[in-house]
Structure 1
Amino acid sequence: MAEDLHIPYGASKEEIYKALYPQLQALIEGEPDLIANMANIASVLKEAFHFFWVGFYRVSGEQLVLGPFQGPPACTRINYGKGVCGTAWKEERTLIVPDVDKFPGHIACSSLSRSEIVVPVRHRGAVTAVLDVDSDRLDHFDETDAFYLGGIIELFR
């Protein structure tokens, strides 16, 4: 696959996700390197939606360690159960946070981040990473994002 993206700018969020999915599938198909695939997924999501920050944190012992991302510098390590990412890992579920300042224990890697969605990445039944997406707008994420980002994460299987 060519690494050129075809993004239907001006379309609905759902239409953009639907257009991206087969492109992401083709981009990572046959590539066994998880880090390379995470890097391309972060890049595509940042390019398509202009999110403030998109990236992965990988499970390493009792911490999440910063992985491939797009955006400003970020926290390097997050403890199990701490912040939005650590909580999504602990609870093994997608978390949508409309206002990060109202999330108990939020870890502010950047004061410009206003809302967030975190999707656990599972391998063989265990959470091995999380996809973290931040916006500089309040209430940016919804169930449409949760559904399609969850589908994109399934490409790792």
Structure 2
Amino acid sequence: MSDDATPRTTHILYKFATTMVSGMAGKAVKSVAKAVGEYQFPWREKLTNYRDELSKGVWGYWELGAWKPLAISARRRARIRKEVLLAGGDWEFDPERKEMKTKRKGHKVDRLAAEKRANTARLMEEMPKMLDDYKKRRWEKKMKAEEDAAKKALNE
């Protein structure tokens, strides 16, 4: 018996096999078993029936500011998906996959220490220019203070 047999069909098959014992019944059991084994769910019909609902998303959708779950259950959706894929059909209703986020390996302290060392090396290269600018600002401030003091002395 295949995995596609529903509990109802297997129950009918079991009941039929247990009640009939004659030679005719044996042929009937074989024909019913063959029919159950060859039976496939009409996934094309289901796909056409639920196409609108499946295209709305996997979990549900927003409509007029309210969240609406799908009219088809996740179990049924998965069943139809499985039947379509097993039959070789295309399933276009899955959402596109997002990019994987990769975690950095190692300790944060080690990574920050390396960044700090690189930043310190860059700043040390700029240090002579920074010192010249600092000395120039101090000298200009000192000269301005002396000018202000001289003007103040003249005004008094």
User: Aligning the two structures, in what range does the TM-score lie when normalised by the shorter sequence?
Assistant: under 0.3
Q: Which has the higher contact order (CA 8 A, sep 6+)?
A: 1
Q: Which has the larger radius of gyration?
A: 2
TM-score (norm 2): 0.20
Greater share of strand: 1
TM-score (norm 1): 0.20
